[in-house]
Amino acid sequence: MSQRAKSRRTSAPPQSAPRQTGTRQASTPPRLRAPRRAVSVTPRASPVSATPIWWDLADRSALAPCPPLAAPLRCRTAIVGSGIAGLSLALALARRGDDSVVVLERFHGAAGATGRNAGFLLCDSECIDLAARMHGETAAFALHDAGLATRSFVRDLERGLDDSPPRSLVTWTGSVRLAADRGESCAFAATAARGLPGIRCEPLVAAPESGSVPYLAALADDGDGLLDPLALVALILALAEARGVRRFDATPVETLRATRTGVVLSTPGGDVTADRVIVCTNPDAARLLPRVGASASRNRWVPVRPVRAQALAAWIDPMPAWRRPTYATRGGDYWRPLPDGRVLLGGMRRVARRAENTAATAASADVQRALDAHLRHLVGPEARIDVTHRWGGTMAFTPDGVPRVGPVFDAGPGAAPGGGRDASTGPGRSRIHVLAGFNGHGMGWAPGLADVLAATLQSSDPSPRAGRSGSAARQATAPGLPKVFRPGEPPSANLDPPPPRA
C-alpha cells in the first residue's frame, strides 16, 4: 500500500464546511477557469473543495457557533472579532482578572483568516536581517519578541494551563527558509551571524523541503513548529469561556461611539456599552475605526488593507520527505506536511499582485495555476498529485509591515503629532484600542502581542472601578510594543526601545 493510501485510511472523514453567513470571509466555491496552458496535475475523480482543509480535519463540536446577542449589554471589555487576535486577547485579559469580557463576532469563531491559514508557528516573518532592514532594529526585535511570547503562550497551553490536561498542539519541528536570490542568501548569513538561539544556516542537502528546486541557501529556526489553527482556537475558546468570557456569534458590530463614560458598540441585537473596546477585526479594522469620529479620513490612524493569500491541499504519491514549515522566496511561497499525510502549499501572490489586493476569499485561477506549477516543480515530474482543496483568506497589511497594537489616538483636526495636548486622553479616546495588521503572520505574533496588550490594559484600566489613571502615559511605556501609527511621525517613532537583551 502506498504511503498516501495508508494515511488516507487514518484521516478524519470529510465533513461539509460550517455554514457561513455574509460574504467576506465566507467560503464561496472557487470558480476556476480552465487553465490557459495545460498544468501537469493528475486528473482527479472527486471535486476540489473550496473549504479550508482545517474545517474538514477539525472536531467541529469544539467550534460550535454560539447564539447572537439578543439584548443590550454592559461590560467592562468588549472585543470585536473572534480570530486568533481577539480570542487570545480575551483569554489573556480573563487570566489577568478581567471578569467582564465579551467577544462579538459577525460570523463564528475562526471564520476569518484564523481558520484559513497554513498553520506555521514562526517566530519571525522575515529573517531578522531582512526584518531589521525593512522595519529598523527596534521593530524587528519587538516583533521577534512577540514571536517568542507566542511560543511561550502555546507551550503554557500544552503544559496544561488553568487545570486543563496537558496536550500537544504544535509539532515542534523547527522551520526552514529557502533563498531564491543572492540578496536573500546574504541576509540568511547575516541573520545566522547574529547568534540568536536556534537560528542557523544549514546545508541545502539537509533540507529535503527544497525538493527539486535549486534554491541557493537554507536558514533553519529550530524553535518554530507546525500547528492546526482550529485545534489551537478551540482550546483558547474553551479556556476563555471557563474563565467567564462571554461570546456572541452572528453579531456584527456596525459602529463604535466613544463617550465620556464608555464606548457604545451598535449591533443588530442591541447596543453593547463597554468601558473599553479592542478591535481585532483584521483588515476590517480600517472599516470600523474611521467611524470612531466624524471624519472618514481617520482611516489613516489604522492603515490596514486587505490582501488575499491562497493555498491548496493535495495528496502526493510518493509522499515527499517534508518535515518542517518551509518559507521560500522571502515568504512568497510556503509549504508543509499536514497531519493526515497530505501537503499544504500556498503563496504565489506575485503572479497577480494587483488582483490579490482584495477582501474576496475565493481561490483564483491565476494563483492556483501558479501553485500547481510550483508544487509540480517541487515534487518532480513523476509524482502523482491529487489536489483536494483550494481556498483563499484575507490578510491585513500595513504600509510598514508592522502590526498596529494599542490605543487609537484621535487628535482631531489640526492637532500636531507628538506636540500640544495629549490627544489620547480626550473624552473616551483611550478606551478604543486595536490589535490588527499582522501582515500574514498573525498565528506567530497575535497571541504574543495580545499578552503584552492585556498587561498594558490592566495596568491602565480606564474603568470607573480602577479610577482615572493616566492611561495614555502608561500605554506609551510598554517596552517594545508596536503602537498605532501617528501621522507625521516615522514608523520607528511608534516603537519604544526594546528591552535589554541578555
Ligand X SMILES: Cc1cc2nc3c(=O)[nH]c(=O)nc-3n(C[C@H](O)[C@H](O)[C@H](O)COP(=O)(O)OP(=O)(O)OC[C@H]3O[C@@H](n4cnc5c(N)ncnc54)[C@H](O)[C@@H]3O)c2cc1C
Place of cell 495596568: 459
Decide: is 306 part of the binding site for ligand X (CB under 6 A): no
Give the H or E element holding residue 193.
helix 182-193
Q: Which of 79, 92, 443, 449 binds ligand X (CB under 6 A)?
A: 443
Q: Does 389 bind ligand X (CB under 6 A)?
A: no
Instruction: Report the sign of the C-alpha dihedral through residues 34, 38, 39, 44, in that order.
Output: positive
- Give the burial class of 168: count Cβ atoms within 10 A of its Cβ; 0-12 exposed, 13-18 middle, 19 or more buried: exposed
Near ligand X by CB under 6 A: residue from 100, 281, 424, 456: 281
- Rounded CA separation 121/171 (Å): 9
Closest C-alpha among 454, 406, 434 to residue 149: 454
State the Cα–Cα distance between residues 141 and 126, nearest whole angstrom.
12
Q: Does 307 bind ligand X (CB under 6 A)?
A: no
* Residue with Cβ nearer ligand X (249 or 461): 249
By CB under 6 A, the residues from 322 to 381 that bind ligand X are 346
Contact segment (CB under 6 A) with ligand X among 269-277, 280-288, 380-388, 486-494 equals 280-288
Q: Is 25 in the site for ligand X (CB under 6 A)?
A: yes
Among 18, 81, 306, 341, indicate the residue that binds ligand X (CB under 6 A).
Answer: 81
216's grid cell? 541557493
SS3 assignment, position 263: strand
Strands 73-80 and 270-279: parallel
Cβ count near 499 (within 10 Å): 11
Q: How far is the CB of 82 from ligand X (least distance, A)?
A: 5
Distance CA 192, CA 170 (A): 24
Which residue's CB is nearer to ligand X, number 449 or number 478?
449
* Piece of 152-160, 173-181, 278-286, 458-466 that binds ligand X (CB under 6 A): 278-286
Question: What crossing angle do the helices spanning 229-242 and 84-95 adopt, rounded to 10°?
Answer: 30
Taking the least distance from each CB to ligand X, the nearer of 266 and 469 is 266
* Least distance CB 194 / ligand X (angstroms): 22
What is the x/- site pattern for ligand X, positions 102-121, by CB under 6 A? Answer: --xxxx---xxxx-xxxxx-
Nearer to ligand X, 315 or 397 (CB): 397
Number of residues that bind ligand X (CB under 6 A): 41
Residue 441 touching ligand X (CB under 6 A): yes
Spell out where 30-174 has E strands. Answer: 73-80, 101-104, 120-121, 170-171
Residue selected from 30, 65, 86, 447 as contacting ligand X according to rule CB under 6 A: 86
Instruction: Give all strands (DSSP E) within 330-467, no chain letters.
Output: 333-337, 343-347, 384-397, 404-407, 432-436
Work out whether 444 is an interface residue with ligand X (CB under 6 A): yes
- Residues making contact with ligand X (CB under 6 A): 25, 80-86, 104-107, 111-114, 116-120, 252-253, 280-282, 284, 288, 309, 311, 346, 393, 395, 436, 438, 440-444, 446
